[in-house]
């Protein structure tokens, strides 16, 4: 008889979503028309993935949400095919406010339902 021993992580058993250093932390999956809700990022790099079931390609713009009368800051844009991900690099300059976080949201002009997943 042969026994196979596999390492077991308590983080995995508890359902934790936080990845280790150098790995992506999933911030959530959101479906929207025109604009997603903002998600919090601590800086570094930020990843956006378009759902593989999108059925169409489009350009997604990334903005940093600034509350009140402050104008939202434009981070950049990428053209996405279904299932494709793009990484926005070195976005630490957008970290601000009392919470020391950047609040990023996706925006597109398609007028269609779009589903994206954000990673930090």
Residue 95 in domain: yes
Residue 76 in domain: yes
Residue 119 in domain: yes
Q: Report how many domains make up the chain.
A: 1
pLDDT for the residue numbered 72: 93
Mean of pLDDT values over 78-97: 93
94 has a pLDDT exceeding 60:
yes
Residue 21 in domain: no
Residue 56 in domain: no
Q: pLDDT digits over 21-70, tens only?
A: 568 999 999 999 999 999 999 989 999 999 999 999 999 999 999 877 78
Question: From the CA atom positions of the chain, what is the Rg in Å?
Answer: 17
* Alpha carbons 28 and 22: distance in angstroms, whole number: 18
Residue 83 in domain: yes
Q: Rounded to two decimals, what is the model's pTM?
A: 0.79
Residue 7 in domain: no
* Alpha carbons 36 and 65: distance in angstroms, whole number: 11
Residues 6+ apart with CB under 8 A from 108: 34, 58, 59, 60, 61, 114
Residue 110 in domain: yes
Closest to 74 (Cα-Cα) out of 86, 54, 87, 60: 60
Residue 75 is part of which domain span?
32-49+62-120
108 has a pLDDT exceeding 70:
yes
């Amino acid at each position: 008889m042969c026994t196979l021993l596999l390492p077991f992580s308590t983080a995995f058993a508890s359902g934790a979503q936080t990845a280790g250093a150098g790995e992506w932390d999933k911030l959530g999956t959101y479906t929207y028309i025109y604009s997603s809700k903002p998600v919090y990022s601590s800086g570094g790099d930020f990843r956006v993935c378009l759902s593989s079931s999108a059925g169409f390609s489009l350009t997604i713009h990334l903005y940093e949400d600034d509350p009140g009368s402050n104008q939202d800051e434009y981070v950049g844009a990428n053209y996405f095919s279904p299932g494709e991900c793009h990484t926005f690099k070195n976005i630490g300059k957008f970290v601000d406010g009392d919470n020391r976080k950047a609040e990023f949201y996706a925006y597109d002009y398609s007028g269609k339902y779009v589903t994206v997943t954000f990673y930090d």
